[in-house]
Amino acid sequence: MNARIRHPDTTEGAAVRTVQRRDGHGARHVRDEVACEVPVALHYNDQPFAVLMATPCELADLALGFSLSEALIRKASELQIDGIDESVDGIAIRMRIPDARHAVLADRQRNLPGYGSCGVCGSASIESVLRAPPRIASELRIEEAALHRALAALHQRQPLNAATGATHAAGFSDRDGTLLLVREDVGRHNALDKLIGAMASARIDAGDGFAIVTSRASYELAMKAAQVGIPLLAAISAPTTLAIALADSARLCLVGFARDGHCAVYAHPERLALTSAESSR
């Protein structure tokens, strides 16, 4: 069965499979929704660049977000999607970027395929990964209460994970904690790239809000956030040392363990203000 043929009653990004469920009363066969994961090849100007293992929905967002967060283009108007082609082997996204931008790809050429839906995995050199992040220009500061409002809303905006239990989500909130956009994917990097692409298409100012992710805060996620100018990135799990170092240099507020009304701020805590009630304790 083709994983990309969607039954009308199936959640987008999922496929139905038969599974044997077992418990103390024995075994039974039931139909279960499973998250789709397929190879998605990214081609620029007729040349292959990377292969991501991704959920095959919102692929235009993925292509644009990846191109922006990996600094392959500077603005959305520099990318043209020529086609999204499906085959039994996977999906190929054919894109075109200005020749001057395409010329720099030779220094960051990927060894295909990439693994783990990762913007770093498959890179040909360390230099192509550890590029200097831009310093975030936004002076945004938010109250911690806004962060927790957005996190609470995110739990209700993950239909694919609710159906399958197998995906990550990335959301973007305004400074007041109103969740504006959410994207899901089996890969945490892909979820953030889809979000970045959707923000660019909607012309949402990355510097006027913050991002939240349902994963650890890895270097790659911190780099992607910094690259597009998001001033605060909050993750429900821990950060890594390299993510903290990058956040320090990029003026990115990096928050970990953001859940259940708590959080830990690892870089630039001045961007996350205590609410007035908390600060008076």
Catalytic site positions = 118
Kindly report the number of other CB atoms within 10 A of residue 28's CB atom.
10
Which residue type occupies 103?
A
What are the structural domains, with CATH classification, of the chain? 38-129 (3.10.20.10), 142-279 (3.40.140.10)
Q: What is the pLDDT of residue 79?
A: 98
User: What pTM value is reported for the model?
Assistant: 0.90
Q: What is the pLDDT of residue 113?
A: 38
What would the mean pLDDT of 207-218 be, rounded to a whole number? 97
Tokens for 72, please give them.
């392959």
Alpha carbons 265 and 193: distance in angstroms, whole number: 23
At residue 159, φ and ψ (nearest 5 deg) are: -65, -35
Helix (H) or strand (E) holding 263: strand 262-267
Which residue type occupies 223?
M
pLDDT band at 261 (very low <50, low <70, confident <90, very high): very high
Average pLDDT over the chain reads 90
